[in-house]
Amino acid sequence: MKFRLMGITNLSTVDWPGKLVTVVFFQGCDLRCPWCQNVEGISPSGGKEADTDEVIEHIKGLGPIVDTLVVTGGEPLFQPEACLELLKKAKGLGFYCAIETNGGNSQALKRLLPYLDFVVIDIKAPLNDPKLYAQVTGQMQKTGLTDKIKESLKLAITSKAEVEARTTVVPTLNDDERIIARIANDVKGVDCLRLQQFRNQCTLDPSFQKLPMPNRERLLKLARAAKREGLKNVKIFTVEGGLETV
């Protein structure tokens, strides 16, 4: 099946401890987060045309050491049929399969879940605050987004897959202990909440490049606020310290 491909990282060990991962970046995203650093991945017409069969052959050609496929983007569920076909084929070959999604297409996620071992869902703001969520995602016109993300979270938590909620901490939007505490309450039931730093290079809205990156100490403080809400497994990911359990 044809689809728009942003790119492939043949072998990665950075984000997935203990696994040798191939990452497939799907082109296009339905959101417009002003702080997005993946600017070239947003346009649906960007990237290049690819074919799911060819991608699978490419992954097979990398050899037996690769045991994991991660689909990400952009937003992988922006092209749900191709994403489903790729994951089905990878699972048929015995791969461990994972997705990183913004959670806005719960119906597509539901169809993919039988083939997924690990689901990462962005929780960019409290889910009971559609106004702030719209601000964080640049979607002032999009209605029902938080309801769809709540549904995605529920579907993932009740599936067999391991689930990680992931929050990028962005100054002026969600860099606040009370906001992170509310997010922690929203994601009860996930296996892990990961807080990661906003990066101020190459953002969709150039004004965000003037904001400072929250440092490791700041993320530790926010992670402790999440833990106080009862979450057992909270991690931070920073340029200073890499991935750490708090």
Determine how β-strand 2-12 pairs with β-strand 21-26: antiparallel
Rounded least distance, CB 219 to ligand SF4, Å: 18
Rounded least distance, CB 62 to ligand SF4, Å: 25
Residues 61-80 that bind ligand SF4 (CB under 6 A): 73-75
CB nearer to ligand SF4: give 52 or 105: 105
Sequence length of the chain is 246
CB nearer to ligand SF4: give 102 or 238: 102
**Tokens, residue 26:** 């799907």
In terms of Cα–Cα distance, which of 63, 76, 136 is closest to 103? 76
Q: Angle 147-35-11 (CA atoms, 0-180°, nearest 5)?
A: 90
Rounded least distance, CB 133 to ligand SF4, Å: 11
Q: Which window, 31-39, 150-158, 210-218, 224-232, contacts ligand SF4 (CB under 6 A)? A: 31-39
**Tokens, residue 41:** 């991945």
15 binds ligand SF4 (CB under 6 A): no
Q: Angle 115-194-204 (CA atoms, 0-180°, nearest 5)?
A: 90
Number of residues that bind ligand SF4 (CB under 6 A): 12
**Tokens, residue 246:** 């708090």
CB nearer to ligand SF4: give 211 or 220: 211
**Tokens, residue 45:** 């017409």
24 binds ligand SF4 (CB under 6 A): no
Determine how β-strand 68-72 pairs with β-strand 96-101: parallel
CB nearer to ligand SF4: give 139 or 227: 139
163 binds ligand SF4 (CB under 6 A): no
CB nearer to ligand SF4: give 33 or 193: 33
Starting from the edge strand earliest in sequence, which strands make up the sheet with 118-122, in order?
48-51, 2-12, 21-26, 68-72, 96-101, 118-122, 162-169, 192-197, 234-238, 242-245
**Pick from 6, 23, 36, 149: which binds ligand SF4 (CB under 6 A)?**
36
**Pick from 7, 16, 32, 148: which binds ligand SF4 (CB under 6 A)?**
32
Residues 95-134 that bind ligand SF4 (CB under 6 A): 102
**Tokens, residue 67:** 């045991």
Q: Which window, 32-40, 107-115, 174-182, 188-196, contacts ligand SF4 (CB under 6 A)? A: 32-40
In terms of Cα–Cα distance, which of 76, 190, 183, 85 is closest to 136? 183
> Is residue 74 reached through a cis peptide bond, with omega within 30 degrees of 0 on the bond before it?
yes
**How far is it, in rounded angstroms, from Cα 43 to Cα 29?**
7
**Pick from 21, 24, 26, 41: which binds ligand SF4 (CB under 6 A)?**
41
Instruction: List residues near ligand SF4 by CB under 6 A.
Output: 29, 31-33, 36, 38, 41-42, 73-75, 102
